[in-house]
Structure 1
Amino acid sequence: MTRIQKTVFILVALVALVIGLTVYKVLNTGQPLDTAELLDAGIVILPQGRDVPDVTLTNQDGQPVSTHDLQGKWHLLFFGYTFCPDICPATLAELRQLRSQWPDEVNQQLQPILVSVDPERDTPEQLKKYLDYFGAGFIGLTGPLDDIQTLANAVGVPFIPADTSKENYTVDHGGNLALIGPDGRLRGFVRGPLRAEKLAEQLPVFISSEG
């Protein structure tokens, strides 16, 4: 084999190796990550993760849950309340629909959580009754208003506490969901109102790409 032939052989081998590694990466992450498509689906990823404050709240079963427990899987934090007339039931219904579309492996990796912005009325019992309407797989958290507001502000989804002295009061809050990574850090947001069709496709792509 001549020197030129050897050089060509080596170059071909290197190209084949690069192509092989690329194909392997694509096959093992589902498909290449497209930032534009994520944004079009309402998914905003932060350049760097942010720490989440250590706050302990109570779930719908009356058990304490620390924000430090939000590790090992992805979590979607939605700040709302059970007496909400519009945004909350619509968002939870869309999340229920998404969970029915996603394969089991995605649902096992992604946990939706309703964090109440109305702890005055949202007892664990009330949360349980409300979430049961949307089916299995949802977690609800309630607790001291100050702790809830600390968490909401830290993950960039603030709300305005209500005047609970008024009858049938409402709480001003947004529709964005905070995306917490398996490392327990804030990784981004899902903008509301949810773009269910695009979100059904793109959120699993992002999760698989992150391993």
Structure 2
Amino acid sequence: MRDLPTRRSVLAGGLAAVLAPVLVACGGDEAPSGTLTAARVDPPFEVADIALASTGGDLLSLADPGARLSVVFFGYTHCPDVCPLVMSSISIALTRLAPEEREQVQLVFVTTDPARDDEARLSRYLERYDPTAVGLTGDLEEIKALAESVGIFVADAEELASGGFDLGSHGSQVVAVAGEGRAPVFWRQDVSSAALASDLSLLLRSDA
């Protein structure tokens, strides 16, 4: 993904005003113990109830994701740079969780290039990072609507030759979706695996 110099905020509707300060851990291996580094959204985003085809062979809506906490990333399998880095960071973070925590968290990868990323391609891609991860694909306009419902602004994204979209490095947020279909926090794409793992543990112990 290339950086878009004119990229606007990924938060639609001026929601930046309701966010707590973004204290993102960039790089490094340690995160402050007991400190949430993610940006909080208050009130949380309400995830659009849009069912997409999943790599599990059925339809899945993030409004009812089937896990206590879902870590959601929008990208595409042909992405040469940002996506592999973010996915690697997420997968490492998940290995840092205690077994009882890991059972409550699922990784969800939503393609922004549905013309090329069918369920089979997504499955092969996700095997590199987390065999238990869920990939979602479907109608491009529905994917855009889903992204915007969790604060990802896609209007300025670069259009791919296939018709999909590239969010650019500033738009590659990692979003947490709680089991009831709310998105209470998000992280920048450069969040460290240690900070992400620490935050996930905190979120699982809280009512976020």
| TM-score when normalising by structure 1 | 0.73
Would you say the 8 A contact 1:55–1:151 is kept in 2? yes
Conservation of the 8 A alpha-carbon contact between 2:75 and 2:109: yes
Alpha carbons 1:72, 1:183 under 8 Å: kept: no
Deviation string for 1:54-97 (max 9, x for gaps)? 11101124321123322551111100010000111111111111
> For residue 124 of structure 1, what is the aligned residue in structure 2?
119
Q: Is the alpha carbon distance of 1:54 and 1:170 closer, same or farther for their aligned partners in structure 2, counting shifts above 3 Å?
A: closer
User: Which residue does 2:55 correspond to in 1?
Assistant: 60
CA–CA separation in structure 1 for the residues paired with 2:80 and 2:165? 8
| 1:98-139, Cα deviation, whole Å (9 max, x unpaired) | 111111111112211110000011011100111112132211
2:83 alignment partner, one of 88, 96, 113: 88
Contact 1:57 1:142 in 2 (8 A): yes
Matched residues in 1 for 2:162 and 2:66: separation?
A: 37
The structure 2 residue matched to 1:134, chosen from 110, 114, 129, is: 129
Higher relative contact order (CA 8 A, sep 6+): 2
Rounded to whole Å, the distance in 2 between the matches of 1:79 and 1:104 is 26
Structure 1's consecutive aligned runs of 4 or more residues displaced over 4 angstroms after TM superposition are: none
Q: Which amino acid aligns with 2:135?
A: G
Distance across 1 between alignment mates of 2:66 and 2:125: 25
Residue from 156, 160, 179 that aligns with 1:182: 179
Q: Which amino acid in 2 is paired with 1:195?
A: S
Q: Is the 1:61–1:125 contact (alpha carbons within 8 Å) kept by the matching residues of 2?
A: no
Query: How many percent of aligned residue pairs carry the same amino acid?
Result: 28
What runs of 5+ residues in structure 1 fail to find an aligned partner?
1-32
Where is the helix percentage greater, Structure 1 or Structure 2?
1
1:74 to 69, 72, 95: 69
Contact 1:79 1:157 in 2 (8 A): no
Residues matched between the structures, number: 172
Task: Name 1:192's counterpart in structure 2.
Answer: 189
Task: Output the amino acid matched with 1:110.
Answer: V
* Counterpart-to-counterpart distance in 1, 2:49 and 2:80: 31
Paired residue secondary structure (1:112): strand
Q: Is the 8 A contact 1:75 1:111 kept in 2?
A: yes
Question: Take 2:68 and 2:199, find their aligned partners in 1: how far apart are those partners?
Answer: 17
Unaligned segments of structure 2, at least 5 residues: 1-32
**Which position in structure 1 is the counterpart of 2:206?**
209
Structure ID, larger Rg: 1
Counterpart for residue 92 of structure 2: 97
Find the residue that maps to 1:135 and give its secondary structure: coil
Could you say which residue in structure 2 is the equivalent of 1:44? 39
Give the TM-score normalised by structure 2: 0.74
